[in-house]
Amino acid sequence: MDSFSGRLAVVTGGGTGMGRELVVQLAAEGCSVATCDVNADTLAETARLALDGAPDGTRVTTHLADVADEAAMFAFRDAVLAEHGTDHVNLVFNNAGIGGGGSFLQAPRAEWERTFDTCWRGVYLGCRAFLPLLVAADEGHLVNTSSVNGFWASLGPGVPHTAYSAAKFAVKGFSEALLEDLRLNAPHVSVSVVMPGHIGTDIMLNSMAIHGDGTPREERAASVRENMAQRGVDAAAMDDDTVIGLVEGFGAAFRDTAPTTAAQAATVILDAVKAGEWRILIGDDARWLDEQVRAAPERIYGADGISLGGLFST
């Protein structure tokens, strides 16, 4: 698929980050887009940005949908078909994701399962809803977002990272398995798996908002203190506002100091789709981690395992 002009794409998690940039860049090439998110305000801003730079005739529709909710995803599919007057789509980007549920032993079960369901079940349901519509097209491309945590289940020594890693491993394995499935049963449809490193997005801030939705502030602060204690930081003397402010500041810093911007990541993805690549690593950190894991798979965990500090000291 060397051109997106005149095509129709579906993008999940289009309210911010890589999802927003995918919508904006696709629309700029004359590709109509249907995008979903759980935040109506950020979706509206995505649509405004996308249409500002799009050629005449390009359509961008926004839809509220939780990717982990089967009924919501099939309702999203039906709305796409109705609003775009189509029986097929050409591109599907299963991009939505959140963090959280670091420790299987210590994290609240609801947080763990919410993270896993968004990051894995969201991709699964995205495929259940939209893969048949790719098959119905003359040419289709499915893009599933995994992570470097889809081949390295860690953030470094001393930091559990179980829910997100388990989900991203599942996304990577599922996508690779689809390579042969599609070759046999729908050879006009391709699949790519995206494995970004540290990208400048609001994923940490969005994750905190989603996990904290409806939770009293004092309970949120208590959870943060417990998490910080697990990482060797004593926050017992900090008041609730200070604790939550620290975490929000860290989330903003995660976004603002990333070596790769969301816009750069989206460009890498779209260029790789045009080139027919199925394995898309994004960032020098992703390529470095991939090399380390392949070189010494039995020595990548534990106190002497891989640390991201190794990348920035080379």
Q: 163-204 pLDDT, tens per residue?
A: 999 999 999 999 999 999 999 999 999 999 999 999 998 887
pLDDT at 3 over 80: yes
From residue 13, alpha-carbon distances to 46, 266, 291 in Å are 11, 13, 29
At 225 the pLDDT is: 72
* Whether pTM exceeds 0.75: yes
* Confidence grade of residue 308 (pLDDT, cut at 50, 70, 90): low
Q: Where in the chain is the domain with CATH 3.40.50.720?
A: 8-201+260-297
Alpha helices in the chain (DSSP H): 17-28, 40-52, 70-84, 109-116, 122-135, 162-185, 203-212, 217-230, 240-256, 262-275, 284-295, 309-312
C-alpha angle with apex 273: 269 to 275, nearest 5 degrees? 115
- SS3 category, 155: coil
- Rounded to the nearest 10°, the torsion over CA 14, 18, 23, 24 is 130
- CB under 8 Å, gap of 24 or more: what pairs does 46-52 form? 46/14, 46/15, 46/16, 46/19, 46/20, 47/23, 49/20, 49/24, 50/23, 50/24, 50/26, 51/27
Per-residue confidence band for 217, with pLDDT thresholds at 50, 70 and 90: low
pLDDT of 305 higher than 90 = no
Residue appearing with tokens 């260029």? 271
Residue 120, token pair as written in the block? 């894995």
Instruction: Of 48-52, 98-102, 120-124, 238-242, give the lowest mean pLDDT range.
Output: 238-242
Q: What percent of the chain has pLDDT over 90?
A: 75
Q: 8-201+260-297: which CATH architecture?
A: 3-Layer(aba) Sandwich (3.40)
Output the six-digit token pair for 104. Answer: 């299987």
